[in-house]
Amino acid sequence: MKEKVEQALNKVRPALQADGGDVELVEVGENGVVKVRLKGACGGCPMSQLTLKMGIERILKKEVPEVTSVEAV
């Protein structure tokens, strides 16, 4: 499942990198919880939670149905 999550994150990365940010996969839990670290401009952005839930989580759940939620660490 980790490989599928990485592939899905690679689809999100160009949009984040265009704004000076990035996302790093930290952990894929047995229960489907994916932990990521927002980096660069995304790390301190006030809109980062919206990006995380409406962007990254939505795409990961679509691409990898086993994903139950995405959390920032």
Measure the N-to-C terminal CA separation of the chain; round to a whole number of Å. Answer: 19
Q: Is 49 exposed, middle or buried (0-12, 13-18, 19+ CB in 10 A)?
A: exposed
pLDDT tens-digit readout, 3-39 = 999 999 999 999 899 989 999 999 999 899 999 999 9
**All domains in the chain, ordered by first residue:** 2-72 (3.30.300.130)
- Report how far residue 71's alpha carbon sits from residue 52's, in angstroms, rounded to the nearest whole number: 8
Write down the pTM of the prediction. 0.89
The residue among 58, 54, 50, 48 whose CA lies nearest residue 23 is 48
